[in-house]
Structure 1
C-alpha cells in the first residue's frame, strides 16, 4: 500500500530555488484562507491548454503510407535500439503520476516543477463524472516533471454541471478552462530509493482529490509509439476503441494509461492503412537499470462495418520490453499492432 504524503517539508536539494521557480511560473499567488486539509492557494496564472475531444468516430489518428519493407520481428530492437547503456548512469529525478481520483467535478489539472508547466488531466467532452470517488484518466504530462524540490498542482473544477464545456480560446490556439481554480504546492522527498505516495487535497468539506505518484531518483524518459496496421478490406470502414497501458514492477500495481477511448468516441480511418494511435501521455518514467523490464498492455477492439451490421475483433495482449528489446509486434487475422520504444537518455 502506498504511504500518504501529508503536508510536510522534506530536506530537498535546491529547495529554495525550485520553490521560487514554481511560484514564478504559477504567477500571482495569494492565500485562500479558511480552507480545509492541505494548505491551498488560489491564483491568477497561466494555464496549460487542453484540446477539446470531438464526437463519435473521430479521425484523430495519424495515417501513414503503407510500409511494405522489413518490419522488426517480435522481441527485436529497431535501428534506435536501447540508448547506449553507459549513457544511463546519470538519470533525472522525476515524478511519475500513476492515478487521480476525486469526488467532485474536475475540469483540468496542471502540474509545475519550477521550470515547466504541463497539463496532467483535462475533462473530455461527453465524459460523465459520477457521484462518489471517481477515477480520472490522466492525459499527461507530455514531458516528465522534475522532482528536485517543490512541485505544484493547479486544479480547475466545476461548481455546477452547467459549467461543463465553458472554455476560452487563447492566442496560441489552445483552450483555457473557465471557473474556480486552486493551487497546492509541496516539497517532494529527497530519497535515494523509488518511493510512492498518495497526496490528498481537500478544498472544502466533503471534497477530496487524490493524486498517486512515484518519485524516481534516477529515471530515463521513455517514449512509446503504437502503430495499427489494418488489412485492406476495400470499401469497408474500420474504427478502433479500447485501452493501452504501461505496467512496471516499480509502479506498485498501478498502470499508466497511454490510450483510453470508449466505443462512443472511437477513432475511424480507411482500411488498409498504417496509423499511429494518439497516445496521451506518450512518455513515461522508468528507473535507470540494467535489469529494466516493463510491459505495454494492449486491449483494443477493431470495428468493421459491413453494410448494415458491425463486426468486432479484439486485439488483447501484453508486450514485454527491456533495455535491448525496443520493438514488438502482434498479429490477429492480418491486423497488426506494433509498439516501438525509445529511451531518451537526455531530455
Structure 2
C-alpha cells in the first residue's frame, strides 16, 4: 500500500499520448499492476471514486495503490467545489500524478448525486469545481467528458462547455466521442448505441490548439491510435485494453519508440507472481486478483484452458498461487529467438 508519507514517484514521465480509461470494477489496483508491467509509459487511471466515499469512508482503502503503478491518475466523481478541493489535496498527499473529474458517466445512480455526464448540462458548476481543485493542489487537474448529452448535444453546446471549463484553468480535456443519453439507455448501451463522432474531437483540437485534447471511445488498434494522433494529443483506450491486456505491451515501442517492457505474456505473469503472493498474504481472495488476468493469453494456444482453470479453481477456499502456476503451464511458451549473427 502507498502511504502519504512514503510515496515514490515513477521515473517514467507523465504523458497522455496513451491512456487506459478509468472503468468501474475493472481498473482496480490489481489490473493496474499488470498494466504497468506491460507498459512503462501508459498513463493509468483509477476507477471513479466519489468525493463522499473519500471524505466519509475508508480513505486509505480507496486510495490504496502500489508505487509501481505510477504514472497514475485519480478519477473523482463529485460536484461540490469544497469536497472536490479536499479530495484533490488527498490525491496529491497520496502520491497520484493527476486528478481527473468525471463528467462522462451516464448511470442513474450518479446522476441523482449530480455526478458524471449530467454535469455537462451545468458547465459553470464544473468550472467552479475545477477552479477549487486547481487551488487545492499542484497536480494537473483534468476533465473527462462526452461530446454532449440529450438536449444539449449541439456543437455550440460543446464549445460553450469547453470554453467555460477552460476559463477556470483546465488545460486537458479527455473527450469520449459520443453523447450520453441520460434517459432511456443503460450505461452499457451508452457505450455502444450513440454514434461515435471522431471529427468533433478533431475539430475541438483545431479550434482550441492551446488545450490538450485526448480522444476516447471505440479505439482498438495501434493503427487507429496513429490515425487519431494525427489530429489529437493523445488516445485513451478502455475495454480493449482490459479484455486484451497484452495490447499494452506494444504501447512503448509503437507510440514512444522505446524498448518493450516485457518480452512475453509468460514473463509478464511471472513478474506479477510476487505481488499476487503478497496480496494473498494480506487476505485478498485469489479470484479478486485473477479476474483481471483472464485476457492475458487471449487468442493464444492454451489460452482457453488457462482461463478455464482459473475460473474453476480461483474461487475455491484456500486457493493460492499454485492455481496461477498450473494455469500458466497450460499455455505453450514461445521458444526464445536466437540472437542474429
Give the TM-score of the pair, scaled to structure 1: 0.23
Higher RCO (Cα < 8 Å, 6 or more apart): 1
Higher strand share: 1
TM-score (norm 2): 0.23
